[in-house]
Copies of this chain bind each other. A is one copy, B any other.
Amino acid sequence: MNVATTSHDAASGVKPVRIGMFGLGTVGGGVAKLLLSRRDIISREIGRPIELTKVVVRDLHRTREVEVPAELLSTDPDAILEDPTIDIVVEVMGGIRPAGEWLRRAIRAGKHIVTANKDLMATEGVELLRLAAEHGVDISYEASVGGGIPLIGVFRQDLVANEVQSVHAIINGTTNYILTRMAQDGADYLPALAEAQALGYAEADPTNDVEAIDATYKLAILASLAFRTHVPPPQIFREGITKLRAIDFRMARELGYVIKLVAIGRRHKGADGTADSIELRVHPTLLPKHVLLAGVNGVYNAVHVQGDLVGDVLLYGRGAGSGPTSSSVVSDIIDIAHNVNAGVSNRVPFRVTDNLPLLAIDDVQSRYYVHLWVADQPGVLAQIAQVFGDHGISIASCIQKETDAKAGTAELVIVTHGAREAGMRDALHQFETLSAVRDLGSVLRIETP
C-alpha cells in the first residue's frame, strides 16, 4: 500500500479534524488504511481535511500490513492524550485496561471518542457515556457490536419511537461458522472448531467465543439500547456450544429446525402498576427453518428486532473483520466530525434510564427439545411423561426414533410447550434418578423469533 502523507491544512488554511488512534491491529490497520488512502473522499464528506495525527502502539517495529508513516507512531499514550490539537480519539486496542482509563482521560481533555471495544462498552459504557455528556463530548461505538451492521444508530435513532419487545441476535461469527459447518457437513464439534481455527475464524483458545461469553457482552450492549437498561454481562445467562453433537443437528433438521447460538432479549410487561422486566440469555437455540434468522450462515451476524410500531426488523451483515469493522469506525469518525463542524455534542442523548429488573433464569419460559435414550420396555414413556407433568411441562410432540435391540434402548425426542426453566431443570434432575433413562442427551431451547 502506498499512501501520500502530506498535510492538507497548510494548503487549504482550514483547520483539519485530527485523529489519534490507540491500536493498530486488524481493525486499527483497516482504519488507518482508510484514513490515509481515502483522505480526500472523507475530507470532502466532512467539509474539512481529516488527518491521522498519531497512532499509539505497543511495539513500534512490528511488521504490519498497512504502511503507516513512522513519525505517526508512538508507544506513549500521552502523545495523544496530551496533544490538545487532537479532536477525536479512536480506540481499537481492545480490553478494559488500560483502554478505559485512557478514554476517561481523553474525555476529560475534551476529546471525542470512537471505540470498537465491546468489553469496555458492555462493562463501563454507561459510566463513559455519562462522563462524556458531562464534558460535552461524544462517544460512538457502532463497531463494538455486529461489525459493519448498522445497529447502534438504528436503535438510538431509527427505532426510537418504538417500545422494543424483543431482540433475537446471532452476534458471534466464530460460533455461527462452527454451527453452520456442523449443520451442513454433519461434522462434530471438535473438527468444526479445528476448521474454524485453521481459517482464522476461531482463536487458539476459543473459550470466549464458544462458551458464549463474547455474545453476553454484545447482548448487554444491545439491551442497553433496546431496553434502556444496563445489565453487567456476567449476570446474563449463557450456555456455550461445546456440548452440541452431530446427532442434534440431524434431529433438528428432521423436526424442521436449525441450531444457532442466539442472544435473546425480551421485555415482559409488568402487571397493573408494576414495572416491566427483561429476560436476557444466550444459548444454542432451535429456530424454525423458515424464519429469516435461520438462514444466517457462516461468519454472518444478524439482529432481529420486534418493535411495537415497526413490527419485525432484521439487520444482517458481517459481524467482524477489518473491512466491516473499519467501515463502522470511519462512519462514526465522520459523524462526530459533522458534530465538531456544527459545534454540537450529545445531540442524541443516550438514556439508560429504565433500569428494568432482570428476570431470573428460573422464571424464563421456553419451549424445549429433549433428546434422550431410554430402556426399550413397556411403561417408560408413561414414566417420562409423568415426570414432565409433575413439573407442569406439557409435551407438544414426541418421536420414538429407533431402537437399538442389542443395547435394549430406544431413542426419544420430545418437544415441549412453553415451560419454566426451573421446572425443566427439576424434571431433568429427576430423569437422572430413573433407571429407565439410560442417557440424557441434549436439552435445547426452542425459539420462534
Contacts and interface: CB of A to CB of B under 8 A. Distances in A.
A149 interface: yes
Contacts of A417: none
Interface stretch (A101-109, A218-226, A316-324): A316-324
Q: Which of A38, A159, A313 has the most CB of B within 10 A?
A: A313
B311 A314 contact: no
A160 to B, nearest CB: 5
A356 interface: no
A47 B346 CA distance: 12
A317 B324 contact: no
A130 interface: no
B347 A338 contact: yes
Interface string A203-229: 000000000000000000000000000
A253 to B, nearest CB: 15
Nearest to A330: B161
Given A153-B153, A344-B347, A347-B344, A161 B310 contact: no
A295 interface: yes
A311 B153 contact: no
A381 interface: no
A210 to B, nearest CB: 24
Interface string A289-309: 010100110001010000111
B153 A158 contact: yes
17 contacts: A34-B161, A45-B160, A47-B349, A150-B158, A150-B315, A153-B153, A154-B154, A157-B335, A159-B327, A161-B330, A162-B327, A290-B295, A309-B327, A310-B328, A311-B323, A312-B316, A344-B347
A142 interface: yes
B159 A150 contact: yes
A166 interface: no
Q: Which of A158, A296, A339, A349 has the most CB of B within 10 A?
A: A158
A382 interface: no
Nearest to A38: B161
Interface string A31-53: 00010001000100101000000
A316 B318 contact: no
Given A161-B331, A313-B316, A344-B344, 13 more contacts: A34-B161, A147-B310, A150-B154, A150-B313, A153-B157, A153-B158, A309-B330, A310-B318, A311-B317, A311-B324, A313-B317, A314-B317, A342-B344
A260 to B, nearest CB: 14
Interface string A146-171: 01111001100111111000000000
A150 B290 CA distance: 23
A157 B153 CA distance: 9
A343 interface: yes
A348 interface: yes
Nearest to A315: B315
Given A317-B310, A338-B347, A343-B344, A331 B150 contact: no
Contacts of A131: none
Contacts of A38: 161
A316 B292 contact: yes
Task: Give the top 7 A-B pairs by smallest Cβ distance, nearest first.
Answer: A148-B310, A150-B158, A161-B330, A309-B327, A314-B316, A313-B317, A342-B344
A291 to B, nearest CB: 9
A435 B147 CA distance: 58
A326 interface: yes
Contacts of A149: 313
Nearest to A316: B314
Nearest to A152: B158
B331 A160 contact: yes
Q: Which of A45, A300, A316, A351 has the most CB of B within 10 A?
A: A316
